[in-house]
Structure 1
Amino acid sequence: MNIRTMPVVAVLAFAASCSAFAADSIKIGVSGPYTGGSSPMGASMRDGVRLAAAEINAKGGILGRKIELVERDDQAQNDRGVQVAQELINKEHVVATVGYINTGVSLASQRFYEEARIPVINNVSTGSLVTKQFLPPEFPDNYIFRNAANDTIQSAMIVREAIDVNKYTKVAILADSTNYGQLGREDLEKALAAKNIKPVAVEKFNVKDVDMTAQLLKAKEAGAQAILTYAIGPELAQIANGMEKLGWKVPMIGSWTLSMANFIDNAGKNGEGARMPQTFIQEPNTPKRKAFIAAYQQAYNPPNGRIPSPVSAAQGYDSMYILAAAIKQAGDTDGVKIRQALENLQEKVDGVVTTYDHPYTHDDHEAITMNMVVMGQVKDGHVVYANAADKANAVREKASGKAKK
């Protein structure tokens, strides 16, 4: 059975039976927000992980053992994430965890995995600090990995789109007050400073705020030609809708979260044209992507066929396959051996985002490089390629000293 033919019942049966697996199953944690404003990202990531795990189990599992996913809702709350991490490590005895959507939750929680020497693959969380918390000499080995485009990459792409491509000279930054928003704001300001540009306004807001009038008025009065954003879907929609209320419309260019369904749906026509970096756009432009999209739609039947957060789903799926390859290579479920295998992965992993060829080394735990990321654009309620050339050249391998840019 493969991703092209796997019936929906296989995924649903897998999800329902995880807790019933025998003691010799391989337990893997899946931590993310499955409720609340971040849930489109969390649920899509989880569902991508489920698809991959179901496929792997259908082919015999890993080392002759079935994967058992231990899923926990961290509710996008730092303290809840800490509780979940401790439970997965100490009670469930997971051999590794995939997930983390929110940068703050990741930074608060993953220290427990570092202490326990159990690997984590961050498959959505993008804060630039995420993979840099535990570096030498204080920490000889780092157990934190990622297969998402970090905010250093994204902020540079956002600024390039605004300044180099569109020639704007006056931009405002609107970012939420979370770790994600404020670390992203810092990255944006650094990227702008590298081009000798200072934002004309820098404003923040809280999660669940519904009125952005004050922040938008400051940006408007400062003559902003574009709004650069770091936030998640619901609040991003309030920015777009707030501009409509003010009768003022300038482009929104922001982090990848402008692709979330709860931005696109809540903003409606006001979100049209918003641009953001993407590792994956829901287009069947390769056989692997076509199969993945079809399998996701068959298993979960999303409204209008649109994955709530395509990036999260694809990266979740890929993270499971990367981890499975490492466990297979290690020949063991010991955390140290899995980390060592991840850092010297011999087998190429055919993922949805890319083919992962030695994605990590001991000193580089980032699988995604800038050349692999494209700009997306909201059009008619979907995210499409902002540039036609990117659609034709959709899959790019990790950049190295000799890699193509």
Structure 2
Amino acid sequence: MRIVAPVLLGGLVVCAVAMVSALSGCRRDDALKIGYLGTLSGRHSDLGVAGRDGAVFAVEEINRSGGINGRPVELVVRDDQGEAEAARKAVREFVDAKVAAIVGPMTSSMAMATVPLVNESPVVMVSPTVSSNDLTGKDDNFLRVFPPSGSTARHLAAHVRQGLGLRRVAVIYDLSNRAHTEGWYHVFRRHFETLGGEVTASATFDAGVPTDFLALTDRLLATRPQGVFILAGAVDTAMICQQIRKSNPRVALLASEWSSTPELIVHGGAAVEGVTYYQNVDRTDTSPTFTAFRRAYRTRFGADPDFGAVYAYQSVQVISRGLASDPPPGGLKKAILAIGAFRGVQGDFTIDRFGDAERKPFLMTVRQGTFQRVEAQ
């Protein structure tokens, strides 16, 4: 089946029924409704807002091209507030509204809270950024365009041990998104130790509770690690890096893609220089497809797209491809899985029979206040 390339230019604005939305326009009774679920308020809202904007951008693009089989798409936006019950309430509202699909959620903890509800309904949920290994290999209504964290964790462990030559690493991770961070940590640790590395210490915190990061990082640094691996959102990662640099300006800093939003640099400044991580979006890509996407997105939102926006955009595109095949009621999942291979703005990716994505990650770092791609050693 032919893969349709994105259309990136045009000018109409789509309607959105939302708790948080800046869109306006006219509603059509025959519109296909797609829900968007993300954290739009609170500490981790940077990722949720980016995802919302990416979904908005994709829906606007689809409507400029005539909609899906001639029907306009209407984006219905809900804020999960980073709270399980708010997320479940939003999913119930989506199901009652008979949305064609749900884009989201953006964090693994919200996915763990909502997937059981989605599985009780005919609605398919396509997440842009959830990577929890707990959701891997399951035949359910949860699909994703972001690969499970196990693969990326093994890439990072190999780079730290063999590429950077580090043997001793300490780890700190946020329990507020435990479904993401804890699984990431365990896979990283197992693979790192298999390669001859040692995790000298591990520490946890909860982003919802005030934390003395200086005391926490001092305990980690007391074990004399060569690197510190931080599994947290952008703001907390930035704060942790600042405390580490007060005590040790030379230790290597490692992170996961969760923290790679502009907020990391805004709040971290010079302290996050050299932070290394793997991700699946290369902001320095100069290919014609990504350059056109970035230019159009910047015109629409006044800023470059970060990884959450790119993945949410691609989630809507996946749903659109499935709906374009005109599946019967309850048949969207089967339609998406039958397609299998999709064209992204940075290369192709696949979704397997369990709804799990596969793509090759890029090694990235923060250099001179920008995210830069580096070649893995």
TM over 0.5: yes
1:172-193, Cα deviation, whole Å (9 max, x unpaired): 0111112132232222222223
CA distance, structure 2, for counterparts of residue 224 and residue 247 of structure 1:
10
Please say if residues 15 and 27 of structure 2, whose CA atoms lie closer than 8 Å, have aligned partners that are also in contact.
no
Please say if residues 256 and 276 of structure 1, whose CA atoms lie closer than 8 Å, have aligned partners that are also in contact.
yes
Quick one: which amino acid aligns to residue 265 of structure 1?
V
1:29-69, Cα deviation, whole Å (9 max, x unpaired): 10001122222211111111111111111111112111111
Q: Aligned residue for 2:310?
A: 314
Q: TM-score, normalised by structure 1?
A: 0.84
Quick one: which amino acid aligns to residue 83 of structure 1?
K
1:57-113, Cα deviation, whole Å (9 max, x unpaired): 1111112111111110111222211111111112x2112101211111111112111
Q: 1:242 and 2:238 equivalent?
A: no
Q: Aligned residue for 1:395?
A: none
Q: Aligned residue for 1:260?
A: 261
> What's the % identity of the aligned pairs?
21
Structure-to-structure mapping, 1:378-389, within 5 angstroms: 378-387=366-375
Q: Aligned residue for 1:270?
A: 271
Q: 1:65 and 2:51 equivalent?
A: no
Q: Aligned residue for 2:230?
A: 229
Quick one: which amino acid aligns to residue 360 of structure 1?
I
Q: 1:173 aligns with which of 171, 185, 188?
A: 171
Structure 1 position 4, deviation (Å): 4.4
Which stretches in structure 1 are left out of the alignment for 5+ residues?
136-140, 390-405
Q: 1:158 aligns with which of 142, 156, 170?
A: 156
CA distance, structure 1, for counterparts of residue 131 and residue 376 of structure 2:
26
Q: TM-score, normalised by structure 2?
A: 0.90
CA RMSD of aligned residues (A): 2.1
Structure-to-structure mapping, 1:44-59, within 5 angstroms: 44-59=50-65
1:198-239, Cα deviation, whole Å (9 max, x unpaired): 310111112054531222122211110001121111110111
CA distance, structure 2, for counterparts of residue 292 and residue 210 of structure 1:
39
CA distance, structure 2, for counterparts of residue 161 and residue 81 of structure 1:
36
Name the SS for the 2:338 alignment partner.
coil
CA distance, structure 1, for counterparts of residue 124 and residue 51 of structure 2:
18
Name the SS for the 1:322 alignment partner.
helix
CA distance, structure 2, for counterparts of residue 187 and residue 87 of structure 1:
36
CA distance, structure 2, for counterparts of residue 187 and residue 11 of structure 1:
43
Q: 2:129 aligns with which of 124, 132, 137?
A: 124
Structure 1 position 114, deviation (Å): 1.0
Larger fraction in strand: 2
Structure 1 position 247, deviation (Å): 4.3
Q: 2:358 aligns with which of 350, 368, 374?
A: 368
Q: 2:324 aligns with which of 324, 328, 333?
A: 328
Quick one: which amino acid aligns to residue 164 of structure 2?
N
CA distance, structure 2, for counterparts of residue 214 and residue 249 of structure 1:
18
Please say if residues 11 and 50 of structure 1, whose CA atoms lie closer than 8 Å, have aligned partners that are also in contact.
no
Please say if residues 258 and 274 of structure 1, whose CA atoms lie closer than 8 Å, have aligned partners that are also in contact.
no
1:254-312, Cα deviation, whole Å (9 max, x unpaired): 2112312111111100100101111112224211101111111111113xxx44xx111
Please say if residues 241 and 268 of structure 2, whose CA atoms lie closer than 8 Å, have aligned partners that are also in contact.
yes
